[in-house]
Chain A
Amino acid sequence: MSDLSIATPPSAAEPDPPGWARNSYLNDGHTLKSWLLTLDHKRIAILYLLSISFYFALGGIFAALIRVELATAQGDFVSPDFYNRLFTAHGVVMIFFFLIPGIPGVLGNFLLPLMCGAKDVAFPKLNLLSWYLYNIGALFTLWALVHGGVDTGWTFYTPLSTGYVNTHVIAVGLGIFINGFSSILTGVNFMVTIHRLRAPGLGWFRLPLFVWGMYATSLIQVLATPVLAITVLLLAAERLFHIGVFDARLGGDPVLFQHFFWFYSHPAVYIMILPAMGVISELVAAFARKRIFGYKFVAFASVAIAVLGFLVWAHHMFVAGISVYAAAVFSILTMLVAVPSAVKVFNWTATLYKGSISWETPMIYALNFIGVFVIGGLTGTMLATLGLDAHIHDTYFLVAHFHYVMVGSAVMGYLGGIHYWWPKITGRLYNEFLSKIAAITVFIGFNVTFFPQFILGYMGMPRRYHTYPPEFQVLNVMSSAGATVLGLGYALPLFYLLWSLKFGKKAGKNPWGAVGLEWETTSPPPTGNFDHAVVVTHEAYDYRPAAPAKEAPVVA
């Protein structure tokens, strides 16, 4: 059957550019089955792309409703009960079904084998299973949302969640539990891939920094996620069978839940940000055409963040009645995480020095990321400072801070990565003008939405309030207005990226002139990734002045 399609002459109007593959992974079967039962890491990446885009849109709709409610000081748009379900749904969907699987599921799956010079990940079947587990978990959660939702906040604090609410805590918990296995499988798969499937000559310090970022992420996924699974089980046991673990009336300790929960959920923040940092390293190197300054420092900073990330969980609990000495220990440990983060920022900035910088769309996202991440990180150190946290804890200052890190930075990294590798993934170029407009719209919309929330937080507006004193309204209106702009910025790529699939110019092997194994194969790559054996002979980001005679022969 494929003989016929190959025999069909390509459309005469458009000659294929060199490096554009008609015989790509995308054309290796067109049936639904060829997609749903695929073991190709690139197709699984596409499956993830579809799923997480759906959940990103869903979470975005929840956010939009929240911003409508908060545009006025009175609780006049939705009932308090519904509002609580909204922000819970927004948090659960965005964190568990978009941010955590986002970059690893889509970009990690697509690129990790390519960057390692491998044919696929180490365990292709596990890889497919992890996509299915993700969807089963997400479906449980969707079911619960359709049947009334859950109103505990994504943090599920006890004893509220075990003894006081009668919404679908168990169903959502089960969804998160199942989804956790997807996360663990992805982590295991990537770690083994990086250890075992690197091409000959590709030593650890020749790996692209995205791979280092994914390695650090996988480490957290494998080690921390089981703790969440256990916590969810204990929560269910207490809710269903009244086994006293967290509920004081049953002899439990409600604060114990917070220790368990944050032991996973703080490292989970690094699951969201480390892959984005990896993407940024790739973008900065590619669009400065230069090796990342301090490569080893940036690589080890990822590992340091992953390791230290396990030791800071109680900074969410400074005012939860823990000992002041414990608080002091967790405060200083949290400060330590800021150091490798700062090291990364300085190294990216230094990379631009004497670079050959081109302001393409992915680079605009990368610069957006760095700017926004600096603010997110610095406000994080304020929250880690005990005397300040006593005031800004659980206010909009915190809300603004984690949105700067998780939306401003992680989503910016994700979008930057999608724009950078889109020609590789699809073989098509998108509209450059529109994509730049979108990148700038996202930057403006994001800052107008979330910057006022820092001020609101310092003024004392608590999070999770659907109604608030009137003096907070001006800034909330600003925030809601910004969210409209941000939503527009997020929606735009949907149109021009889809458009490019059919009408975009065909991309050659390497449209950006970047260095990296993924750019040495055709766009889109063939099913086995490379049509030749890969041997690596040089460092990552080995940009050298091109020999001029080769490309443009000088006519005497």
Chain B
Amino acid sequence: MWQNAPLFPTAASELARHVDYLFFFALFFSIFFSLLIAGLLLVFGSKYRRKGPDEVGVAIDDHAPISKTLEMTWSAIPFALLLVMFGWGTWLFFHQMRPPADAVEYWVTGKQWMWKMQHPDGTREINELHVPLGRSVKLTMISEDVIHDFFVPAFRIHVDVLPSRYTTYWFKADKLGTYHLFCGQYCGVEHARMVGRVVVMEPQAYEQWLAGVRPGRGPIRTGEELFVANACNTCHRPDSSARAPILNALFGKSVALADGKTVVADEQYLRESILNPASRVVSGYQPVMPTFRGTVSEEELLQLIAYIKSLKLPGAEAAPAAK
């Protein structure tokens, strides 16, 4: 009902509407307490106006039972309400920050002062992201320089885009339209122009749109070429005699490290192992891999990781090469 109200932003996902519900809850109590305090100030201020120059107020004994009761009341009630806000807000936040399992991965690279997007099929866009209605979209994001922040008010979520670590943004748009995309973290001279739009389309229209754009190659395919071009495949081979760990079916698994610790082979670990291979070496291997820092770009890293994620064990079904 409030969706078309003036001065109120469109909500284009279920979670966005949840943010609004929580906001209205908080707003209700804020208005209540603001009016309560303002009202009491005005009522007391006029009712107990000084009558004569020598009049003084009637002090209330600190030890009177009413004092203790009042102090406890106005500590406990706000605290209880705050606990509700905390619980509700945290529950919501966990949903906002954790994409569902069926989310389709897109890639976002931020740099001063533009957004570079890549679709699962490899289609690239600058400062625009077209997505189909009703699809859970997960953005794996990284920055090439300073900290940026991906902010779409219609989805009610900000997530910082960091220059050293992948962060994830997700949404499931349920309303057609074109929405603002802002950089939400100050990033230098043209920060205010690091803006774009998210276009939510009917799934069919999205497919047509994809077909109409010059298709890029899928990131997995590109990643595979990079894998060969950088000679990664000379060591990382799917056989046990290799000098380097087998990468097939590695993603998401726990890996034992040479120093006795374990690490989950996620995007972050793969990225670190390409840029700074000696930092966390897999148990049983020598730190012989050279660094690829400066050789592969952030976007190429994303493609390499996409390829590694796609690798299955030999004998299992072949990697689903994208078009």
Interfacial residues, chain A to chain B (CB-CB below 8 A): 75, 80-81, 84, 151-153, 155, 157, 159-160, 163-165, 248-249, 251, 253-255, 288-291, 293-297, 318-321, 324, 327-328, 331-332, 335, 338-339, 342-343, 345-347, 349-359, 367, 370-371, 374-375, 378-379, 381-382, 384-391, 393-395, 455, 458-460, 462-469, 475, 513, 541, 543-546, 548, 551
Q: Mark B1-25, 1 if CB is under 8 A from A, else 0.
A: 0000001110000001011001100
| A-B pairs, 7 with minimum CB distance | A460-B153, A290-B57, A387-B92, A248-B164, A385-B89, A386-B93, A352-B44
Q: A319-B160, A390-B158, A393-B158 are in contact. Are A294 and B59 (CB under 8 A)?
A: no
B146 interface residue (CB < 8 Å to A): yes
Bound state CA distance, A359 and B50, in angstroms?
9
Contacts of B51 in A (CB 8 A): 356
Contacts of B67 in A (CB 8 A): 293-294
Q: Which residue of A lies closest to B73 (CB)?
A: A346
Contact of A459 among B7, B37, B165 (CB under 8 A): B7
User: Closest CB-CB distance, A291 to chain B, in whole Å?
Assistant: 4
Q: Are A371 and B19 in contact, with the CB atoms below 8 A?
A: no
B167 interface residue (CB < 8 Å to A): yes
Contacts of A355 in B (CB 8 A): 44, 48, 57-58
Contact of A160 among B7, B45, B187 (CB under 8 A): B187
Contacts of A350 in B (CB 8 A): 60, 70
Contact of B71 among A153, A294, A393 (CB under 8 A): A294
Contact of A385 among B22, B98, B180 (CB under 8 A): B22
Q: Are A468 and B22 in contact, with the CB atoms below 8 A?
A: no
Q: A151-B188, A248-B163, A459-B7 are in contact. List 13 more A-B contacts (CB 8 A).
A: A164-B188, A288-B48, A288-B57, A289-B55, A296-B62, A331-B86, A357-B48, A359-B45, A375-B30, A378-B34, A381-B26, A458-B9, A458-B23
Q: Are A349 and B41 in contact, with the CB atoms below 8 A?
A: yes
Q: A357-B44, A388-B26 are in contact. Are A324 and B93 (CB under 8 A)?
A: yes
Contact of B74 among A165, A332, A346, A458 (CB under 8 A): A346
B280 interface residue (CB < 8 Å to A): no
Q: Mark B38-68, 1 if CB is under 8 A from A, else 0.
A: 1011001100111101111111101000010
User: Closest CB-CB distance, A5 to chain B, in whole Å?
Assistant: 35
Of the candidate stretches B120-128, B190-198, B241-249, B309-317, the one touching chain A is: B190-198
Q: A352-B40, A370-B37 are in contact. Are A84 and B59 (CB under 8 A)?
A: no
The interface size of chain B toward A, counting residues with CB under 8 Å, comes to 85
Q: Mark B271-293, 1 if CB is under 8 A from A, else 0.
A: 00000100000000000000000
Contacts of A353 in B (CB 8 A): 44, 48, 60
Q: Mark B111-145, 1 if CB is under 8 A from A, else 0.
A: 01000000000000000000000000000000001
Q: Which residue of B lies closest to A351 (CB)?
A: B57
Q: Are A290 and B149 in contact, with the CB atoms below 8 A?
A: no
Q: Are B193 and A467 in contact, with the CB atoms below 8 A?
A: yes
Name 5 A/B residue pairs within 8 A (Cβ), A-sorted: A320-B160, A355-B57, A356-B57, A358-B49, A464-B192
Contacts of B75 in A (CB 8 A): 339, 342-343
Q: Which residue of A lies closest to B155 (CB)?
A: A391
Q: Which of B157-209 contact A (CB under 8 A)?
A: 157-160, 162-165, 167, 180, 182-193
Q: Are A160 and B44 in contact, with the CB atoms below 8 A?
A: no
User: Closest CB-CB distance, B199 to chain A, in whole Å?
Assistant: 16
Bound state CA distance, A385 and B18, in angstroms?
13
User: Closest CB-CB distance, B272 to chain A, in whole Å?
Assistant: 11
Contacts of B296 in A (CB 8 A): none
Interfacial residues, chain B to chain A (CB-CB below 8 A): 7-9, 16, 18-19, 22-23, 26, 29-30, 33-34, 37-38, 40-41, 44-45, 48-51, 53-60, 62, 67, 70-71, 74-75, 78-79, 82-83, 85-86, 88-94, 96-98, 112, 145-147, 149, 151, 153-154, 156-160, 162-165, 167, 180, 182-193, 276
User: Closest CB-CB distance, A77 to chain B, in whole Å?
Assistant: 13
Q: A254-B164, A324-B94, A354-B48 are in contact. Are A385 and B191 (CB under 8 A)?
A: no
Contact of B90 among A289, A375, A386 (CB under 8 A): A386
Contacts of B192 in A (CB 8 A): 75, 80, 464-468
Q: Which residue of B lies closest to A83 (CB)?
A: B192
Contact of A382 among B23, B91, B190 (CB under 8 A): B23
Q: Are A460 and B189 in contact, with the CB atoms below 8 A?
A: no
Q: Are A391 and B158 in contact, with the CB atoms below 8 A?
A: yes
Q: Are B48 and A462 in contact, with the CB atoms below 8 A?
A: no
User: Closest CB-CB distance, A528 to chain B, in whole Å?
Assistant: 30
Contacts of B182 in A (CB 8 A): 460, 462, 465
Q: Are A349 and B57 in contact, with the CB atoms below 8 A?
A: no
Q: Are A345 and B37 in contact, with the CB atoms below 8 A?
A: yes
User: Closest CB-CB distance, B151 to chain A, in whole Å?
Assistant: 6
User: Closest CB-CB distance, A515 to chain B, in whole Å?
Assistant: 9
Contacts of B157 in A (CB 8 A): 319, 390-391
Bound state CA distance, A546 and B56, in angstroms?
8
Q: Are B189 and A321 in contact, with the CB atoms below 8 A?
A: no
Contacts of B29 in A (CB 8 A): 378
Q: Are B147 and A390 in contact, with the CB atoms below 8 A?
A: no
* Residue among B16, B79, B147, B162 with max Cβ neighbours from chain A (10 Å): B147
Q: Are A352 and B41 in contact, with the CB atoms below 8 A?
A: yes
Q: Are A387 and B186 in contact, with the CB atoms below 8 A?
A: no
User: Closest CB-CB distance, A153 to chain B, in whole Å?
Assistant: 5
Contacts of B57 in A (CB 8 A): 288-291, 351, 354-357, 543
Contacts of B96 in A (CB 8 A): 387, 390
